[in-house]
C-alpha cells in the first residue's frame, strides 16, 4: 500500500503549487459553472509531485473560462480540439516554469459518465472546485471516483476504466507502458490480458500520436525496463516490427547476449552515459548535456530521439546474419539494413524531417568510429570521420560507446574497450575545436553561386570542403567556392 494523503485543504494545495492559488480563486468565483479538477494532476499531487499540466472539465463554456483564465494569468488561450470544444491556456508560473491548463466540456450526461471514458482508473478521479474552496476534504470520500482510482493508486495497480478502454483509443496501449514504469505500478490481470488481445489495434492509430507517447516515455531515465515490456504485452510486433527477429538471435563471441537482450543493455548503458557523461568523458560533460537537451522536434530534446536510435541500432542484424566456414557468426553491413529499418520507423511515426534525419543518421553511423579505428586512423581520416558525422558526432559517440559497454563476450576485452573510449575522447576534443571554426560556405551558397539543386550531393560537397578547410587548404569563401566548383566539374 502507498501512503496517500487522507485530507485535502486549499491552503496545502496552494503551498505545494503556488500557481494554483490565483487559478482556483478565479474558478471558485465562477459559481454555478460546475468545474472539476481531473486526471493526471490529482494523480501526481496525491503521489507528492507537482505536474505542469492541469485539466478541468466543466458544464459551462470552456472557451469563456479559458479566455478569462488566460487574462488573469497573463497567458494565451486557444482552441485545442475542435471536435470536442476543448481549450488550452499556456502561461508562465509556479516552480515548473511553463504551465498548461486545459478546459473541456463534460462528456455525456454527468461527470461520472465523463470519467468512464478515460483510460485508466488512476486518471479517472475528479474534484469539485467549489467543494475544495469550501473547506477541508476527506479523501477518498469527497472525490468523484466511481472507478476506485484512489484505491488502485494506493495499491500500485494499473487498471483500465472499462473493457472498451483500448478499443476506444488504441494509443492507450503504449501509454500503459509509460504509466506502469514511471509510477511503479503492476498491471491488473484483466488489463494485461486486454493489452495482449488488442495489441494489433495499435496499427490503426495515427503515427504522430504513437510518437508522442513514445517520446514522453523516452524522456525518462532508465527506459530499458519499459521496452522489455514490449514482448510481454504483444506490442513489439505492431509498434516495432523490425525488432521482433532480434529476440533470441544468436551473436558471435564478441557478445554475451542475444541481439534483443544486447539492445536493451545498450539502452541501459546509454541511460547511464546520459545521466553522468563525466564518468566516461570528463571535461565534456557540460557540452554533452547541453547538446542532449537541445530541442529536436517541438520541445522534445535530442536525448529522447537518441534513445529511439539505440533501439534500432542493430535492427538490421537478422537480415545480415551469416556464418563463415568455421561457423563464426557475422553481420556484415548490418548498419545499412538498420538504417533502412529506421527510415521505415520515422515514416510510420511521422516524425519531423529534422528528427527523422537525426535518427537515421545516428543509426547509420553507429559503426563508423569502430571501422575508422580498425583502419589505423590518420589525422586526415579523423577529419573525414568528423566531417561525415558532423553535427551528430556527440550522439554517435554516446550510442557507440554504450554499444561497446553492452558487448561483453570473451573476445571483448577491457583493454579494447578502453582504447575505444580513449579514441572517442580524442574525437570529442577535435569536434569541439572544429566547432569554433565556422564553415566557409553553406548549402545555400552552392545553390546560389554554382546553380546546384537541393539534394544529397550538396551535403557530400560540403563535407569535402570542410575537410579541406580543416586541413588548412582553404582560407576564404572564394577558396571554398572554387574548390566546390572543381569537385562538381572534375569529381575527386
Q: 3-state DSSP call for residue 214?
A: helix
**CATH number of 223's domain:** 1.10.110.30
> At 95, is the pLDDT very low, low, confident or very high (cuts 50, 70, 90)?
low
**CATH number of 62's domain:** 3.30.460.10
- The answer to whether position 1 is within a domain reads no
Q: Please state, rounded to an integer, the average pLDDT across all residues of the chain.
A: 93
Q: What's the average model confidence in pLDDT over 100-112?
A: 95
| In a shared domain, residues 69 and 135 | yes
pLDDT in tens, 142-162: 999 999 999 999 999 999 999
Tell me the longest C-alpha to C-alpha distance in the chain.
82
- The answer to whether position 2 is within a domain reads no
Q: How buried is residue 491: exposed, middle or buried, by Cβ count under 10 Å (0-12/13-18/19+)?
A: exposed
Chosen domain end from 155, 188, 221: 155
What pLDDT is attached to residue 121? 98
| In a shared domain, residues 418 and 458 | no
| In a shared domain, residues 246 and 231 | no
> At 429, is the pLDDT very low, low, confident or very high (cuts 50, 70, 90)?
very high
More confident residue, 189 or 221: 189
CA angle 200, 202, 206 (to 5 degrees): 145
More confident residue, 455 or 73: 73
> At 96, is the pLDDT very low, low, confident or very high (cuts 50, 70, 90)?
low
Domain tally for the chain? 4
Which contiguous run of DSSP H or E holds residue 224? Answer: helix 224-233
Phi, psi of 205, rounded to the nearest 5 degrees: -75, 145
Render the burial of 225-253: b for 16+ CB within 10 Å, e for the rest: ebbbbbeebbbbbbbbebbebbbebebee
More confident residue, 232 or 356: 356
| In a shared domain, residues 209 and 174 | yes
pLDDT in tens, 1-20: 578 999 999 899 989 999 99
| In a shared domain, residues 248 and 235 | no
Q: What's the average model confidence in pLDDT over 182-190?
A: 95
Structural domain harbouring 313: 242-435
Length of the chain: 492
What pLDDT is attached to residue 93? 72
- The answer to whether position 265 is within a domain reads yes
Q: What's the average model confidence in pLDDT over 365-374?
A: 94
Q: Is the pLDDT of residue 242 over 80?
A: yes
For the chain, give the percent of residues with pLDDT over 90: 74
Chosen domain end from 397, 416, 435: 435
DSSP string, 405-432: HT--STT--HHHHHHHHHHHHHHHHHHH
Chosen domain end from 186, 211, 239: 239
pLDDT in tens, 126-139: 999 999 988 889 99
- The answer to whether position 464 is within a domain reads yes
Q: What's the average model confidence in pLDDT over 388-393?
A: 91
| In a shared domain, residues 263 and 359 | yes
What pLDDT is attached to residue 7? 94
| In a shared domain, residues 341 and 481 | no
pLDDT in tens, 284-339: 999 999 999 999 999 899 999 999 999 999 999 999 999 999 999 999 999 999 99
CA distance 368 to 268: 21
More confident residue, 264 or 52: 264
| In a shared domain, residues 266 and 396 | yes
- The answer to whether position 305 is within a domain reads yes
Amino acid at each position: 500500500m502507498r501512503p496517500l494523503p487522507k485530507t485535502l485543504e486549499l491552503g496545502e494545495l496552494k503551498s505545494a503549487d503556488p500557481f494554483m492559488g490565483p487559478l482556483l480563486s478565479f474558478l471558485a468565483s465562477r459559481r454555478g459553472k460546475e468545474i472539476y479538477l481531473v486526471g493526471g494532476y490529482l494523480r501526481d499531487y496525491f503521489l507528492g509531485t507537482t505536474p505542469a499540466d492541469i485539466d478541468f472539465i466543466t458544464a459551462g463554456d470552456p472557451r469563456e473560462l479559458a479566455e478569462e483564465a488566460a487574462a488573469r494569468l497573463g497567458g494565451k488561450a486557444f482552441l485545442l480540439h475542435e471536435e470536442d470544444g476543448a481549450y488550452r491556456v499556456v502561461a508562465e508560473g509556479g516552480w515548473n516554469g511553463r504551465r498548461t491548463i486545459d478546459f473541456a466540456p463534460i462528456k455525456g450526461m454527468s461527470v461520472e459518465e465523463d470519467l468512464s471514458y478515460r483510460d485508466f482508473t488512476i486518471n479517472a478521479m475528479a474534484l469539485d472546485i467549489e467543494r475544495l474552496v469550501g473547506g477541508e476534504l476527506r479523501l477518498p470520500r469527497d472525490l468523484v471516483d466511481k472507478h476506485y482510482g484512489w484505491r488502485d493508486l494506493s495499491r500500485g495497480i494499473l487498471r483500465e476504466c472499462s473493457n472498451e478502454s483500448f478499443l476506444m483509443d488504441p494509443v492507450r496501449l503504449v501509454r500503459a507502458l509509460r504509466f506502469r514504469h514511471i509510477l511503479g505500478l503492476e498491471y491488473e490481470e484483466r488489463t494485461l490480458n486486454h493489452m495482449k488481445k488488442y495489441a494489433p489495434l495499435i496499427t490503426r492509430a495515427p503515427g504522430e500520436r504513437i510518437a508522442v507517447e513514445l517520446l514522453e516515455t523516452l524522456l525518462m531515465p532508465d527506459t530499458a525496463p519499459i521496452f522489455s515490456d514490449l514482448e510481454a504485452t504483444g506490442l513489439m510486433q505492431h509498434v516495432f516490427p523490425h525488432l521482433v527477429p532480434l529476440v533470441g538471435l544468436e551473436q558471435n563471441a564478441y557478445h554475451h547476449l542475444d541481439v534483443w537482450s544486447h539492445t536493451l543493455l545498450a539502452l541501459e548503458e546509454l541511460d547511464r552515459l546520459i545521466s553522468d557523461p563525466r564518468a566516461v568523458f570528463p571535461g565534456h560533460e557540460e557540452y554533452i548535456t547541453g547538446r542532449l537537451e537541445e530541442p529536436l522536434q517541438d520541445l522534445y530534446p535530442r536525448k529522447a530521439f537518441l534513445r529511439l536510435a539505440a533501439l534500432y541500432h542493430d535492427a538490421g542484424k537478422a537480415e545480415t546474419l551469416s556464418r563463415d566456414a568455421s561457423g563464426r557468426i557475422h553481420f556484415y553491413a548490418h548498419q545499412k539494413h538498420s538504417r533502412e529499418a529506421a527510415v521505415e520507423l520515422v515514416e510510420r511515426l511521422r516524425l519531423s524531417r529534422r528528427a527523422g534525419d537525426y535518427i537515421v543518421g545516428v543509426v547509420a553511423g553507429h559503426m563508423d568510429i569502430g571501422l575508422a579505428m580498425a583502419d589505423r586512423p590518420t589525422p586526415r581520416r579523423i577529419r573525414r570521420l568528423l566531417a561525415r558525422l558532423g553535427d551528430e558526432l556527440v550522439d554517435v559517440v554516446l550510442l557507440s560507446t554504450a554499444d561497446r559497454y553492452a558487448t561483453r563476450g570473451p573476445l571483448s576485452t577491457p583493454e579494447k574497450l578502453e582504447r575505444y573510449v580513449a579514441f572517442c575522447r580524442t574525437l570529442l576534443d577535435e569536434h569541439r575545436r572544429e566547432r569554433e571554426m565556422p564553415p566557409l560556405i553553406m548549402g545555400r551558397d552552392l545553390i546560389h553561386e554554382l546553380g546546384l539543386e537541393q539534394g544529397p550531393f550538396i551535403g557530400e560537397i560540403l563535407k569535402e570542403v570542410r575537410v579541406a578547410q580543416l586541413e588548412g587548404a582553404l582560407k576564404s569563401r572564394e577558396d571554398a567556392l572554387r574548390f566546390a566548383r572543381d569537385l562538381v566539374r572534375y569529381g575527386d
